[in-house]
Amino acid sequence: MSANGPRPDDDAKRQEEARRILERTHRDSAPILESALRRSGDFLAARGESDDPAEIWGKRIGRILAIAVGIGCVVYLVAIYGR
């Protein structure tokens, strides 16, 4: 051990910590709209939830129909009570 400089394992620990901090900073500074759109797309496409194609397509269709019905209800309420 020398008193002149940092030890190699200390240097590796600092580099790993710096890498984690940079990754977290990048992730936290991502635009909110971009991440929200990406998560919405993953949700509607049912990515990473199952390997069964029928289940994936069933979830996609159900989620899209739910959104369509929700929008239809909002349009109906605005048309009826928004006068």
29 within a domain of the structure (yes/no):
yes
53 within a domain of the structure (yes/no):
yes
Number of domains in the chain: 1
| 83 CA to centre of own chain | 39
Residue 8 burial (C-beta neighbours within 10 Å; 0-12, 13-18, 19+): exposed
**Residue span of the structural domain in which 19 resides:** 8-81
18 within a domain of the structure (yes/no):
yes
pTM attached to this predicted model: 0.49
pLDDT tens across the length of the chain (83 residues): 555 666 778 888 899 999 999 888 777 766 766 777 777 777 777 777 778 888 888 888 998 999 999 999 999 999 999 87
